Amino acid sequence: MAFITSAPAGQGNLQSQSSRPSQKGQGFMASQALAKQKAFEKKAAKYKLPLGELALFTQQLASLLNAGLPLVQCLEALQDQTEDPVFRIIIRDVRTDISAGNSFSSAVKKFPRSFNTLFISMIEAGEASGALAEILSKVASYFESTVKLAKKVKSAMTYPIAVIGLAVALVNVLLIFVIPVFAAMFADFGAALPTPTQMLIDLSDFMKAWWWAIGLGAMGAFFALKQFVSTPRGRRIKDLSLMKAPIFGGLIHKIALSRFCRTYATLMRSGVPILRTLEIVSSASNKVQIEDACVEIAKHVSQGGQVSDVLATNPFFPPMMKHMVKAGESTGNVDGMMNKIADFYDTESEATVASLTSLIEPMLIVFLGVVVGGIVMAMFLPIFQLGAVAGGLQ
């Protein structure tokens, strides 16, 4: 005899009601993920990929191509392992474009802020020569050396910037919060204060009353300077001033020469025509002096001249570089000579960074001692004078 049991009335409704919140939650999460994906896709067209990530992508792509994998399969593998969600979408779109029958160079041209002019031109050269993997390896080495040098310079600059920022914050705290306490105490003396102390108290009063105006003025000056530097004339003044800077001018000059030589050598060795090479070197240099030199070299070369002829008359390029390029032209090994020059200036830049780091540390210590010590001495000067007067009365 079979017994049929039925669920209590309303139990089925309760189960369906309990499943509704979870379904709503899943729907909300799905819509949120879709909105995030759309935001990433919108951002992809104008996304500026850091050079370090581009170097890693280029090296991995070259390694996969050297292993014999097809380009589409390489991009699919890189898309799966890329952690950056925006760059993942860019790789997906490039892969889709190539699968549709377009070339690799035309696919990456749609993302000019992620793939710079040098990368795109090298891809074109690789497609034309059939040695894409080899050329990508050269580009990856170039990007890696650039990133390595930039990291060394940034790490050397981190310490002085942090110390100067700390000193500015400390001085502001003393002027706004500490000195007014001393000023109120000195007011009870009823005597004229020493000139350094009075000047410091006046500065403190000004900072307390007008700190907001100083902040707005600093922000306005920063944005005005930024706008001016973005103009051709402002950019030219900025580059010329940086090269003449007393401490960092030599370092900036060496880095610019190294980038010029390395870019030129990499492009020429990959089979890029010389006029196109000069155009890419000009845009990659980010220095008006090199841009002017590239325009002059392009005119001279198109008339049958040589690169060394222009370098010999341009004061931006040192004599050693002019002689080595001339020797490279006579032996037919300009790109090899340019690489050697770039290696030399990379070594010189690293040595300059090391010497600047060792020089800046004691200079910052002296700077902090003078600033903070001067403020302390100015505030205690009336107390010392009061002690001297009291001692004379005894």
Calpha distance 312→37 (Å, rounded): 54
Cβ atoms within 10 Å, residue 274: 16
Residue 3 inside a domain? The answer is: no
What per-residue confidence (pLDDT) applies to 25? 59
Query: In this structure, are 185 and 290 located in the same domain?
Result: yes
Instruction: Give the Å distances, CA to CA, from 87 to 36, 44, 46, 202, 358.
Output: 14, 7, 11, 55, 39
Calpha distance 322→317 (Å, rounded): 7
pLDDT band at 21 (very low <50, low <70, confident <90, very high): low
What per-residue confidence (pLDDT) applies to 64? 92
Query: In this structure, are 306 and 169 located in the same domain?
Result: yes
Answer with the one of 97, 115, 133 that is the final residue of a domain.
115
Query: In this structure, are 181 and 319 located in the same domain?
Result: yes
One-letter amino acid of 243: M
Is 18 a residue whose pLDDT tops 60?
Answer: no
Residue 126 inside a domain? The answer is: no
Q: Quick one: average pLDDT of 154-181?
A: 84
Residue 23 inside a domain? The answer is: no
Burial zone of 147 (CB within 10 Å; 0-12 exposed, 13-18 middle, 19+ buried): middle
- Which ranges in the chain belong to alpha helices (H)? 11-44, 51-66, 71-81, 85-99, 104-108, 117-129, 132-173, 179-187, 195-229, 232-243, 249-269, 274-285, 288-302, 307-313, 319-331, 334-393
What per-residue confidence (pLDDT) applies to 14? 44
Give yes or no for a contact between 60 and 82, defined as CB atoms under 8 angstroms apart: no
What pTM was computed for the model?
A: 0.76
Considering only CA atoms, give the Rg of the chain. Answer: 32
Q: Which residue has the higher pLDDT, 254 or 10?
A: 254
Report the chain's mean pLDDT, rounded to a whole number.
84
How many domains does one find in the chain?
2
Residue 317 inside a domain? The answer is: yes
Sign of the four-CA dihedral 75, 77, 80, 81: negative
Residue 129 inside a domain? The answer is: no
**What CATH number is associated with residue 85?**
1.20.81.30
pLDDT tens for each residue of 38-50: 777 778 878 888 9
Query: In this structure, are 88 and 161 located in the same domain?
Result: no
pLDDT tens for each residue of 241-286: 988 888 788 888 999 999 899 889 888 888 888 888 898 888 888 8
Residue 120 inside a domain? The answer is: no
129 half-sphere exposure, CB direction, 13 A CA radius = 19
Is 36 a residue whose pLDDT tops 80?
Answer: no
Answer with the one of 100, 115, 130 that is the final residue of a domain.
115
Is 4 a residue whose pLDDT tops 80?
Answer: no
Q: Which domain holds residue 78?
A: 51-115
Sign of the four-CA dihedral 151, 152, 155, 157: negative
Is 94 a residue whose pLDDT tops 70?
Answer: yes
What per-residue confidence (pLDDT) applies to 394? 42
What per-residue confidence (pLDDT) applies to 196? 86
Query: In this structure, are 318 and 263 located in the same domain?
Result: yes
Residue 330 inside a domain? The answer is: yes
Q: Quick one: average pLDDT of 329-356?
A: 88
DSSP string, 314-326: -TTS-HHHHHHHH
pLDDT band at 297 (very low <50, low <70, confident <90, very high): very high
What per-residue confidence (pLDDT) applies to 138? 87
Query: In this structure, are 271 and 218 located in the same domain?
Result: yes
Task: Look up residue 58 and give its two tokens.
Answer: 């280029």
**Degrees, nearest 5: CA angle 211-213-185:** 30
Calpha distance 95→92 (Å, rounded): 5
pLDDT tens for each residue of 109-160: 989 888 988 888 888 888 887 888 888 998 898 888 888 888 888 887 888 8
Query: In this structure, are 293 and 391 located in the same domain?
Result: yes
Calpha distance 5→10 (Å, rounded): 15
Is 161 a residue whose pLDDT tops 90?
Answer: no
pLDDT tens for each residue of 327-337: 998 888 888 99
pLDDT band at 23 (very low <50, low <70, confident <90, very high): low
Query: In this structure, are 224 and 363 located in the same domain?
Result: yes
Query: In this structure, are 109 and 171 located in the same domain?
Result: no
Is 15 a residue whose pLDDT tops 80?
Answer: no
Calpha distance 127→66 (Å, rounded): 15
Is 91 a residue whose pLDDT tops 50?
Answer: yes
What per-residue confidence (pLDDT) applies to 387? 59
Share of the chain above pLDDT 90, in %: 22
Query: In this structure, are 230 and 333 located in the same domain?
Result: yes
Least confident of 5-9, 196-200, 341-345: 5-9
Query: In this structure, are 152 and 214 located in the same domain?
Result: yes
Query: In this structure, are 110 and 166 located in the same domain?
Result: no
Residue 70 inside a domain? The answer is: yes
